[in-house]
Each structure stands twice: as C-alpha cells, then as structure tokens.
Structure 1
Amino acid sequence: MLAKIFGWGKTGKSDAGKAFAPYAAATPASPLTIDEDGFRYASPAPLAKQWLVAPYDYPDYAELGSHLALVVQEGFGLAVGSAILLSWEHVYGILRSPELRSFRAPLRFPPDTLLRPRLTNAGALGDAGFGLRIDEWVDVQGRGARPAPRLVGKVLRFGEADALLPESVSEMLDLLSRFHMSPADERTLSFKEHIYGRVRALAAQSSCPVSDYVASTIVLSPEHLSLGVERRGEGPAAVLEVSPGFEGAPDNWVAQFDRLPLQDRYNVPEGPALVRVVPAPEVKAVLGEIKRSMPGRRVAGMRAQAFVRNPFATLGESARKVLDAAEFEAACETAGIVFKSFVPQVERGERGEIVRVGLLVQPIAAGNEEAAMTWFASSDELSRFAGRLARALDDGSQCTTWNDDELEIVGDTVEHLQALSGWLREWKTPALWTASEVLDLRHYSARIGEIGVEQAFAVPVIAKNREEGGWFEENTSIGLRVDDPASGGTRYVVLEFGEIPSLQESVNAARAAGADRVTLPGLVQPIPVADAQSALDALARAAAEVRRGEFTPRAGARPAAKKRLIIKRNFEDIEYNEVRADALHMPPDCAPAIPRTLRPEVVLKPHQEVGVAWLQHLWALSPAACRGTVLADDMGLGKTLQLLTFIASCFEREPQLEPALIVAPVALLENWRNELARFFEPDTLPLLLLYGETLMALRASRQEIDESLAAQGVTRLLKRDWIGGARLVLTTYETMRDLEFALARQSWSIMVCDEAQKIKNPAALVTRSAKKQKVRFRIACTGTPVENTLADLWCLFDFVQPGMLGALNQFSRTYRRPIEAKTEEQQAKVEALRNVIQPQILHRKKTDVAKDLPVPVEDQTCKRLPMSPYQQQHYEGALATLRAQRETNPSAQLQALLAIRKICTDPHGFAELEVRDVPITRLVDESPKMGWLVKTLKALAADTQGRHKVIVFCEFRELQLVLQRVIAAMFGFAPSIVNGDTSADPRTIGNRQELIDAFQSSAGFNVIILSPLAVGFGVNIQAANHVVHFTRTWNPAKEDQATARAYRIGQTRTVNLYYPGVVSEAYPSFDVRLDALLQRKRALAADMLNGCGDLTADDFADFG
C-alpha cells in the first residue's frame, strides 16, 4: 500500500539530511524504541507501574520515569507489562497540551521534521481511476531527500536520525491511506471530493508542494460549521439572523445557499474560478435544518430564546458534531447576546437595616466582561422587577430583561424571587422600635441602674504649660488619665511627644498577641486595648496638629456619646447584691439526672457525671439561694458536654423555661454546635446562631428604629420576635456588647460565658455587657479563673453571684494571692476566701480525674540547641540595642525583647527582606530550631508503624509559611495552616474543621501548623501524639491550652511535648530565660488563686 502512496526508489544526492536535528536513534541501551504503535519505553523495573510509582529508585531513569508518571496521571500512555506505550494519538495530545508540551525533551521525543511530502494526482476527480500519491519528500528548498527516508509509525528515519511528523502531515497521510484502502465501488464522486478536499487543505496547512491540478482545483468539504448571529431589535421582540459558514468559505457562499434548495454540492463563483463546496453528511443535515426551521435564516420570540441557549436542540443531533459550542457563544457575544445569570444582593447598615437591594449580574460564559452590580433605585423599582420576573416564570420564558441585560431563568430563580420578595416587604414596611419601650428600665435586670453615657477608663489629657503661651510643642504637656476600678482612684501618667510611637508599638504587640488589655509605662494595672488605642489616636492627632501650629482644644474633643445600659458596678461600695444561702454543699450521694435526648451510645465519664450533678444541684437552689457558678475544670475534661447535658436536662424537666444563652469566642461556637449535634438527638435544643449571616438577617433596619431613639445613639437592635422558637442561642462576646439593649431585654434561664477570662476585666465593655443580662442562673466557664490578680476572680463572681465578695476596692485591699500572702493574717484571709467561693466553684485537674489519660512526655534535649554563626551575629546586635534602650528609652524595651525572640526562632525573618528567596538549605542550616524540627520529623516519618502526627504551634504568619515551605520540600507534602485567618464557618470551603479532620483522618505520618493563640480553644485533635511549640507564648496557661488540643479526654497515646530553644556560650540565652520564667509561672499556677498572667518586659529587667 505504501508503494501506491510514496514514490520510493529514486536515486540521487541531497542535503536533506540537514532537515533532521541530531537525535540518536533507539539503541539497546536506550529505554525508548519506536514502532508502528508509538513510542515504547522499556521499564528498568520488572513492572512498568513499579517504575512510575518510585522513579527515583532508578537513578539513571528517574527524570524520564517521573515525567512519564505525570503524563500517565493525565490520561496519556498505557502500562503494558514491563513497558509504557505512548500511542501516536497520545504523543500528539501531549504536544498539544500547554501544560505538558514542555515534557518533550525529558520524554525524549524526536524533533519535528522539516521535510514535506510532494502531493501529486493521477487523472481528474471525475475519472474512475483518479488517485492521489506522495511523489517524494523534499526539503525547504524543494529538493528531494536522498536517500529516501523511511517512515516508522509517525517518525521519518533518515539514516541514523529520527524526526517526528507534524500532526497535520500525519493526518494527511492517514487520509491518503484511507483513500487507497477503500474498495473501488465505494469511491463515488462524493467520497473522492470529500477526501480530496480535506487532503488538499492539510497540504496547504503543512506547506506541502502539490501538482498543478491540485493547486488549481479547489474543493472544500467542510466537516464543521460556524454560525454567525446578528440581532435585530431588543428584548422579547428581537429577531435573530443566522449565517452558516466554514473555514475558507467563498465570499458568495451564503448568497448561493439562500438561492438554491439544499444541495449535495455547490459551485460558488469566486472571481473567474468556481469553488466546489461539498458538505459532509452531518454538515448537510444541519444546513437542511436551517432551511426548514428558520425561513430566511431568521428566528424570533421564544424560539429565538431557545435557539441561542441551546442550538443543538434546535438543529438536531448532527449539530453536536458540526458546531463548536465555544465558537457559537463567541458569535452570540459579538452580536451583543450575552447570557447572564443574576444573584440577588442586599446591603445592610450597621444596625441590620436594608440600605439597598440589587442584582449581581455576571456572564455565564467566560469572557472579558466582568460581573457587575446593578442596584434598584427604590423599593418601587424592585417591585417592578419582581413582577416582571414572576410573569416570566409563569409563561415559561427562558430569560427576562432588565437594564438591557438578558437574565437567565434557571433552577434557583424561584428562590431568588422569594428572597427579593421578602426584602421588598421588609424595605417597604418596617416596624418601629420607639424610645419609650427601649429606654424603659422595667424591661431590664435589676442590676441596671440607669440608661446614660458610660465613662471611658483611659482618657487623653492635653494641656498648656503656661497659659499665656501658644499651643506649640515646648508649651504643651500630654498624658493619660486612667480610672482604676479596683481602688476607685484616678492616676495621671505624664508622657512625652516622642513616646507616642513606642506606646503604639506596645498596643500593636498586645493586639498581635490576642490580648484585650495592655500595660503601659507608669501604670500598675493593664487597661483595655480599645481605650488605650482611642487615647493614643487622640494624642497622635494632637501632636501632629501642635507641630503644624493648627491645634485647638476642640480638635481632640470626643464625639457625642451614645446611650448605654449602666450597671451598678460594685466598685467602691456594694450597689447590687444577690444574697446567697450558706448551705450550698452538694450531698455526697447526689446523682445526675441524664436527659433522655442524650444519644444512647454516649456515656459520661465519672467526673463528668459529678459535674452535671453539681450543676443540677445548684440550679435547683436558684434563684433564691444561688445565682450561678464558676466551672473551672482543666482544659480537655469535657466541660462543653457537661454543660449541654445540664442545659438539656433543665429543659426536659421544665419545657417552658426561658431560652438559654451561650456566649463564647466565635471559634468555640462551632464546637458547641458540633457537640450538640454529635452527642444529642436532633431537636433536643432548637438552635439560633446569633452571629455571621444569621445575625445580619435579624438586625433591625434603620427604618425600624424611631428617629428619637436613633438620635440618642441607640441604633443597634434586633427585629421584634427575633428569638423565634429557639431554646439555645449561641453568640459572641462582641455581639453581646454591641447588641446590649436587644439581648438585655430578653429573659434567659441559663447563661454560659465560655472562655470566661474574656469577662475578667471589670472595666471592659464585654464584662459590663455580660453583667447586664437578665438571667436566672449564670455560669462562668474557664480553666484559668485567675490570670493576673485576684481581681479576675472577683470579677467572675461579681457576674455569677453579685455582692458575695464585696466591693472591688475593699476586696483588693483585703486579699492577696497565696504567693503574695506573707503574714499569718494574710494567709488566713486567703483560706477564708477559698471557703467562701468553694461551694460555687468546681476546679478539677486532668491528673486528678482522668486516670486513663497517658502522662505526657516532655523532651529536654531540644531546649539547648547551639546558635548558628548567622544567628549569633544578629543576636549580638539585638542584645546591644536592648542594653542601650534600657538606659535611654525604657518604654521601648519590649520591642527589643521581641526582636531578640524573633532572632532565636526565625533569624531569616528578622534579617532578610524576602525570606521566600532564601534557599531551603540556608533555612535549615542557619536556623537551629528549623534544623532540629526537620531532623525530628524525619525520624518520626521513618517510623511508619508509629503513625505519628505532629502539631507545630507557631503564632507568626510569615514563619508559618516558611515552615510549610520547608516541610513541603523535605517531605513532599505541604502541611495545612490553621489560625485566626482560617474560617470556622462549616459552609466555607477549606474551613478550619475540614483541615483538621483531613489531618486526623490521614493514614500514617502527617503534620499540621496551628496558631496557639487563634486555635487555643474549640479544637480537638486527639490524633496528634507530638506537640511542638516552635514559638512560645508569654503565658503558660495559653501554652497549656494549646497543648490541650491533643492532650485531652479521648487521647489514647502518649503525647510528646517539645519546646525547642537556642543557647550560646558567648551570650545569655533568651530562650532559656523564657523557659525558666514560664516554668515558674506554671508551678505557681498549680494553686488556682495564684493565677497565671502574661510575662512582661519587667520579667526580663536583668536580662542581657
């Protein structure tokens, strides 16, 4: 057969060999051989699959094997015994792929040949003996190749060199083979025209030389159609005109198509010549459908809507083979027909009111046009659109129009209409909250003393030194006035203008550490971060205006204050007291009442049964004899399950109880939600999530608030009957603070403040908001009831049982922490305090009640890693800075200490502008902690039977990414990062719980990187048996809280703890000092009343 196509056997000489780039033919030593089927790669392994799975087990063939493995994953190639076969179809598929074509050299493909076949004919198309053949192969100058190359599959072999045919040449040769293999009786005129037209087109595309007959005889045999679309008119009355075309179509083709009935072939004049158009059978079928169903090639109305959205349904089955969907969409877009979808959008103000409603309109097909918002000018305009959309749905239309956009009607359009209709009703008919009902004290707790303006606890002070002078820097003094709720006194702190930046850095550091309070120079007690920031902002503005000579006393004036609920504070005197009975002790034989809705497979542990019984005992005494409790169990003992069991039992016994309220950080709320679903039957406690999107929908709109109420600053309310049928409400501390009027009006049966250290500061707004709630039984849930001072404990009990511990200033003068109690009298008072609180506080440690929990093992060897020379160089400079600042600018010492801390853990992050440009080898070799981590992880990964899983705690975002990069390079996978930037919302793709679940369920060794501050609570990761504190918080309680993510109830393996640190023989070690301070604080905190506060710069006063 090849002899009929190719004219072999001619002799002569040519330099056509230059058309082949040097390429070694297959040799016995080469894994690649070429045959009629394709490229065949011999595997160095007994089975080809073994080679692909582990290509680096065969170093001489590793690059080839790794690239073959990737293309096989993409669906190219086939493992056949001990070889991989890339068929010719797959070879050309790889070369067409933008992602894989660069694999050509690693896969050892030959280069493309520059030779081209010369196409000649025998006779004319109408002759019975008509034929086409390849006369010879020629080079780019048209000279014949000598000796004639040999074709092996799709490769031309010319002497010892191989070259691949271009795909168009390969396709042309396949068509010629098909023509010559066809029986004589099948070679009808249509068949010959069809083959001839395609071969001629491919020859032109490939720049192949052809005979004079082939050059002058033009036959087009289109196998594909393009449809041009032109729209005349707008909206439902628009008419579409369709113009069928194809590649190379003559100018007069459409006119000839219109003039004649459907033909097998068309002779179309083109200048002095005729172009013969012979449609393929499928093309002819589509052209026939256009003639039949679109008179004059026009279509209108609903048939036009159907056609542009699905031309294949209109033009029959053949259209799927003939038309390209992307081309048709592009033609419609060119004609101004863009298919668009819409999603209703609502914009609400700060108080949840509807500000405006609109549509997010976005093209369905990818193109240059971006999504755009269109807003309704008024509720009337929204009403018109909703009516138009409803009519379109009723009459079965596939689209509706708005602002010249054709909007698709699809499956979710009904839901979109419902949303728009609901917003329309809300926008038009809001119900008003009035001042007379919201500001009526009778609706609130008896602890609310008045409704007025609350005073700030830190206020900026700006004054002249000499009254007769002007407002310039030398004549202006600045400072802070701080109200101390513990003593009832006021302290004034004098500042210099130059200290403002360093004070701002301290506030920034506190924010970064997740703290809600900050200690500023000159203050004994920390103040709320928000108050400090507000005061510093005012001082910074004043400083800038003084320097510009523009300051006036009114410039720094505070805006008009908003009215709030003001509680009876119990600071100086007992203003509000809820009397507690003396006999509160639980009988020793008290058993818990387990609710029927607890799932039958859930069995409480003994200490949890005691906790539930204790809660139920105190609840039975409320409200007359007891108003609440502090649940201070260690982290990881199942406080949430105990509380849910208690709440469910209360509602089971008294179904008509007022709803219960849970207040917690947003990350913990998902944990509450998950545990309710996991441990209890459905509908045990109908739930309302008062945060996120649900909260936005429940906010009262601006139109629902009376003007007189808004004028007094009360603008954050909820809709009437917002609570619905919910029995359990979950919300955040910030929501409780911002919506205090709405939540404080509601009566609650039980209120739980989880992570109650959030309300330990008497001055904080969230603390005051918690105390404003109207509750029968209050529970403060925290593993650290004392963090800094005993005032923390006072504040918790002032929430749980107001008045029991007296007024704050008297309490602070009377009691000292055990560590501070030096005299017998002071120690006796500490014991008296224990006796007072004992009936209302439950504090149990894991070591006391979780006897089956394996004892964690702390690694000591990693605490003294030698500094690298690179690290030591920067450490020396930072120490010198610390010493200098201690003498000249004490308020800046904290920043110097933080710099030293960073050098110890992340020297490249301190010293390099772009850490991502630092090679992996440097990151590992020059950072002792990183080198230690890689070595440790390698040992764990090698122990495949151990199925080790590792949590690496690191609070710095940039360092988290460096850790991820190093682990990916060393171990072949990128560990997930979970921190405060990772959503806790289960609807979010890649949310925190999904990432943690994937880590826990993975087989074998794995690593996850967590922020100790952002996920120190609300996360259970019992699958982890190694915990690395790569960076250390300055509070051992927070560090232990992070560890408790793995070391908790349910853990069956020993948890290994690591606190890596660096040391130097030449300089004092910051890490060693930090570890010693944290260990000391941890030991002191064994007594709950000692607390466990943050370290401060003062703890490092003699360091360096």
Structure 2
Amino acid sequence: MIKISKDLSDRGIKIACHVLKKRKPAEIKIPLFLNPVEWLKDILPDEMEVLNVLEGLWQEGILQEENNFYVIPYEFLYNIAEDQRRILCLPVEDNSIKVYIKAKGILGSSDFALIPDIYIKDEKMGPLDKRIKNVVSHNGCFYLIPLNLYSLLNEIDAYKPTADPLLQAKIIAKVKYKAKSANVTFDKFLESEEVYYSEKLDVDIVKHSDDHIQIVPVLGNEIDSLLKDSKDKVLKQHNTLYGEGIKRKRIFLEDRVVQNYNKILRQGHLKGTQIPRFLTNPYSILPEDIDLSNFSKRVKELGLKVYRANPYINIKRDKDSGWFDFEIGGIIHEDTGFSLDEDGDYIRKNELKNNAKIDVEEYRHLVQKAVESGEDYVNYKGNWVKIDREQASRFLNIVDNEQFRKTQRIDITRLPYVLKIYENIENLEYNETALSLKKQLTGDFSISDFGYPMYLKNCQLYEHQKEGFLWFKGLYENHMGGLLADDMGLGKTLQIISFLCYLKECNEIKPTLIIAPYTLLDVWESEIRKFSEITSVYRHTGYKRYKTPKLLKNYEITLTTYETLVRDQLLLGQIDWQAVVCDEAQKIKNSTTLTTTAVKALKARIKIAMTGTPVENNLGELWCIIDYVQPGLLSSYHEFRKTYQIPIEDAISNGSEAYVEVKNKLLNTIRPVYLRRVKDGILSLPAKNEFFLEVELTALQEKLYCQLIEDYKNKGKSESPLGVLQKLMELCAHPRLVRDEGEVNTFQLLSESGKLQRLIELLNEIKRRGEKAVIFTHYIKMQAILRKVIMDVFGINCPVINGSIKGDRMNVIDKFKESSGFGVIILSTRAAGVGITITEANNVIHYTRDWNPAVEKQATDRVYRIGQTREVNIYYPICISSRGKTVEERLNEVLQKKLQLLNEVIVPSRCLSITEENYDYLLQDFSDWSA
C-alpha cells in the first residue's frame, strides 16, 4: 500500500511517497529505479499510475527534490496536463473562483491599498482558509486560481505602499485592465475611477491613396476611443484627459509602450517609395515586439502589394542545329509576404500577375526610371516594383553586347561560358531547359572523387554523407542551390558542416549564414565546434546583436533565427553571403509570409534548404522551398498547381494511382537540386523483421465490446464515432482502461486481457534470448498496468518515459541502456518517440497503435538507426474475434495502405493520419457485434 501526502509549502506543493514495509513506512524515491523492486511489487495499478506520472514530471524538471521530499513549484502547475493533475489529485483551475476588490484608505494617503476578497463556490475564504501564490485551501480542499486571475492578484501582491497618488492610480488601472479577462468585481469607488492601462501595443493601417498610407498605433478599444480627438498627440507614461477632478480620465502606460507609440506616431505617414520599403520590411519602422500576424491581414484587405522585376533568360534548344536561342527580358514577382492569395490565382484590378514576363525594352524602361529617380522602387501600372539597379546594369550590358545583339544565338560549345556570365547576376531566373543543360555539362559526381575536407574532424562519414558532400560541392561550383530532404537520422547537419569545411579550405566560407529555429542554434554551434575547426562563429540574436554589415562580414559563420531575419532583413540583405543555409526549411513553406519573403531576398552564391518534411499540408510547400533554392525551376505557382499539385493531390484523395506518372515528372524536374535518401537501402543496418501477432479477445473483452457498440447504436448521432472508436481501442488494450472495478492483482489483470497475456509470452521469449525490449503505448493507465505486471512476473522495475527527458534526467535512459541482459522500457509513442536513441534494445512492441504510420516509424527508429548491431524485431499485437473484425484489425489494414505512401516525399504528411474519412471503414463490422 502506497501513501502519498501533499501539503502546501512556501515554494510549491510538497509531495512525499511512502510504502508500508514491516509495519514501518519507507520513503519511495523518484525516479523509481532508486527503490528496491520488492517495495513496489505489491502496489495497485492506480498507485503505479500515480508514481509513473510523478516520475514523468521529474523527467521534465517539474517535480523537484528538496530536503528529503519532492515539490512541484506553484508556477509549474499550469504546465501539467489536466489528466495528469487528475491522477495526482492536484488542484485544477476552478472557474468558480471570484474576486471582489475593495479600496482601503483614500488616494494620496500612505495607508491606501487594494484588498482582494476571494470567493470559492460563492463562499468567501475564511480565517481557517489560506492562499499561497496560485493555490487556495478552502474547507480542506485545494483549488488552483485561474492563470488570468492569478496575474491580477500578483499585481496587488507586488504593490508597495506609497503616498504618491499617481502610483496608486496606476495600480488601480493595471488591476482593472487585467480584470477584463477575469472573474472580478470592484467596490463603488474603484468602479467609478476612470483609469486605463495597456501593456501591449498593436498597429493598424489606413490607406489614404495609392501614394499615401498611415500606420496607426493601437492601444485597445477603450483607450483608442479616448484618444480619437487627439490622434496625433504624443503620449507620456501618465496622461490626463478632459481636465481635472471627477471628469478626468487617466491613461497609464509602461515606458516601452510609450516609446513605441510615439515612434510610430512620428513615422506613421508614408508616401511614395516609403510605402514599398515598409511593406517589404515592416520592422524598418515598427518596433521589434509588435506582432504582425493580424496586421498582415489588414494589408491584404487593402490590396497593398509590392513586386520585384528581375532579369530573365529562357534557353531554347534547336533540335536540328545544336544551337540555342535566348529569350531575354524581365520577370515580375510578388515581393511582399502580406498579400498573395492562398491559391495564388485571384488578381485584383490593376494588380500585376505573379511571374509575368516583360520584354527587354520594357524592362530597360523600368530600369531607366529607377536610375533617373535614384530610387530602388518605380511605379509600374499603378503598382510598386523593385529594381536592383546594379544587377540590372550588368544584365543590360551583356544584352547590349554587339555579338549577342546580332544573333541572340550561341553554339553549344559556348554555352557554359554564357551561363557563367549570366549567373553572376543575382537572382537570375532560370528555366528548366537551362538548368537541365547545365547539369548535362557538369556531369554526375562519383564517390571515388571524395576526399575528407581539411578542416573536418572527429568523424567518419557514411557513404551517403560523402555523396551529399559531393552534391553540395557540385552545386556550389555551378552556382546552383539545393534542397537536402534526407530522412531523419541520416546526418543532414554533418553533411552541411562537411561542405562548410570545404568552403573554408577554399578560403570562401566568409561570410556564411545559417538560419534555424531558436531551439536548434545551440545544436548548430556545438556540432560546428565538435566536427570542424571552424571557430569564427557568431550568434545574431537578442537586443544586443550587431547592427552593421561590416561586423557580420568578419565572421565565417553567422547563426540567426527566422524571426530575427525578418526584423533585420535590411541589414542581412546587404551582405553578399557565400552560402545561406535554411534548417527546418518548412519554415519557408508558405509564400505569403514575411519569413519566406525575407529569406528569398537574401543574396548568396549558394542557397541551401534542409528538412526531412518538405511537404506537410500541400505540395505548394515544396514549390515554395524549391523557388528559394532555384527560382524559376518550377515556373510560377499558378503553373505548378495546374501541372503538378492539383493532379497529384486529387489522385491521392481519390485513392488513385494516377498520381505516380505526374509525381515522377515532378521529381525528374527538381532532381538536379533535390536530394532525398531514406534509411532503407542507405544505411548498412541489420535486418528489420515485422510480426503481426493475432490475439484473441477474452470473454470479458468481447462482452464489453458488444456493450460499447450497443450503447453507441442507442445514442444514435448524439455521440461522435471517434469517441466509441477510442473506447474500443482502449478495451482491446485492457478492460481496465474502460471499466475499473473488482480485483486488481496481477493474475486478474492477465486473465482479463488476451493482448497482455501474449505480451508476457513474448517478453519471456525475449528474456530467453537475453535481449532488451521497448514497449510503446500512449495510454497512461496502460503504462501503469504494464509496469506492475512486468514487475510482478519478471521482478524488474522497468522505466516509463512519457515526456521530454531533460539534462541529467537522461540517467533514466542510461541506466536501462547500461544494464546487462534482459530489460524492458515503456515509452509514450509521441512524447518519448523523439530525441531518444536506444540501440541497446533490438525488440520493439507497439502495444497500442498510433493513428499515423509516420509517428510509429519515428518511434521504431529510436531502436532501428545508426549504431544498431543486431536484427530488430518489431511486433504488432492485434486483437481478433470470431464475432467479426475488430477495430484493431481494420485500423491495421488502413495503416498498411497509408504506409505505402510513407516515403513518398510529395505526399503531404497529413494524408497519412487516420481521419473522419476512415471512420466508416473502421466501424464497418459493428453489425456483427450484438450483445
């Protein structure tokens, strides 16, 4: 019997766990492997479930050890999932909690204060009740104050008594501001005080004309309404409106908000070329902490767009003569991430069509207008178009070359020279023919050509990584970009680092830019230092980051985030980068975002994208990434949708194989700039064996299965089919997940579930071989049952991993890996299936199935990956019955069909998940199950 006590301490909820042994309580330690197995063998599944959750919170750093007991800091309570709070009997947010706030004393007196009275279920907290931070104890029960209400109470707690009426009025304003989203009432005095406060600033946009827009600072409806008659008024931290006395209205603002408000007010009216400069880089005017997500919608509504015109070359080969005709001119692209419609098709009046071509004389006219005005933007048919004057000048000089002007034709022997001239023009648009010809001329790389770069260290590259290095080298030498879309675990980062070492060897690495999510910057920095002798690395983030290009150019590698790039695109866009690398390139999958626009505007000799999931929602994401690494290769998005996206996605949705031919055409088109390898067939890993084990439902399971179906039928459409499907899946795992009553000893638990019985048989086989096993299931209750039964049957305390493993808590995994012989670890399929390597195990058991085969594969890859030396056995126990097909059988059939699409990079990953479209098939056999 386990006793778990909870109490409130100054720092958090104090938790102590004890087990009664020989009539004496013994303390249970977290993590559980610190305890003797005999202490835990006789505990109940519900008690094991509690201990599992506590261990999971310890792994995530939420449960912390302190003076022989454990504590959950109060501020972490909001980070614990509701089902975990329920299992631990922790206080949950109670929306019945109300606060009545009254004033003590008068404004201007030193004894002025705000007194909050807290009501729980309409009962005022009494003298025997207590509150510590965000938890209140009332009538012997604990309650968690809702987060918004706790934020308000924090303001009152932080108030320091003063006789300054301004500071007193400010605390009233702040509390009333936070009370808008909380269950709060005020006394008559406080209610009558017309004080206002805002802790954030937004912006709106007003279009006066095509040549005049205004950026308007927004503080919130109430304050903006008060300021409507003085929109151009500079604000202070304390602002009094409408005179003094009882009619006055006072606005209080934080210093940061005041500064940003007044900055926007001063710079808000934009005219002429200021408009496109702002639309392509809003943070040139707006403060960094302004959220532009809603602002961008407003820009789109007003139809504000900016375009850029680049030189264009189209090469047509004469089939008979071997000569090439050159079509030259300009091509117009949309240059702002604000306003492109989702499908890219709808064009408003006077708008330019994206990827529209103009002839060379019209392009020359735009360039001349830019030169004469000395501006980078010119007005073209009522729209703003950006012209790179330096780029355009080089292009027109080539076009005006006498020999080229005479024929505009060239022999194949001269083609490489001409291409080299043209690719010196930044962002030159190539068509498919030019790129394929270039690939023919450069030839394929051979692994025999590989030599380790001089500055690479501490690693031996696999064959596929050597090929990746040579691929990057070839791209760079031929002024082409590339998308590396290797499967997870194939070492994309190391391939990039190898290439960067080659650039350093050629003395061409400075400056290089790597853009990645903030959480990966540490990984990049440590990997660069671990595997290379590149030491000139600078992290460009935070308020203290450099503000001039000269300083950035001094570093070989600059690391930054996508968010910082958007804010600093004018700064970073001035630099001629040798290479720009976009990690997790799905960040630029949407052509309508500021992030994508900022990335595509960067100048670089080679642009590299890397992601294992280039297509998540639709094929337009692949087009957008390819348009970054090699613009023009897939033509306009409009043409891409018509040629590839719609035919492929429609065919997949209809279950047709017709997409294969179109898919192959697409892959052939992007092949020169696209490299994807999957583990199967690449790594020299041992064999992977899959076993689908049929397991008969027990009589109890069949009885409950029929009852669940009858209940569902009787409720008609009032219950979601998803609800009954989930209950049936839980039942197949174990009846205790849907009905928890009766005896709970190990013998009873085994007798109730055919799948659990088969699991123990399987683990006995694995034990005889002296091997380790990993069991995947996401049901917390099932994890507790498994842990108890395995402990009672095999005498081992197997660890359970539910969430992320942080820092030194990896010793839970390490202890399992280091133990000799037979061992078992239980993992949550999704939460613990990422960031963990357990090649010491070679048996994987998917006790319950995930509804996306990609997630299951990723979980399996914790075991089947680089470092695995033994054959890997993967087991899928599936419940069957003589009454008819079970939900598990149907689910396995659907997953096997979806599995065929798993390695098809052009298939959106959303297409792999079980959706409502599959529910009818999963429920197809309900008529066979009658009670």
TM-score, L = length of structure 1: 0.42
User: Over alpha carbons, which structure has the higher Rg?
Assistant: 1
- Tell me: higher relative CO, structure 1 or 2? Use CA pairs within 8 A at least 6 residues apart: 2
What TM-score do the two structures reach when normalised by structure 2? 0.49
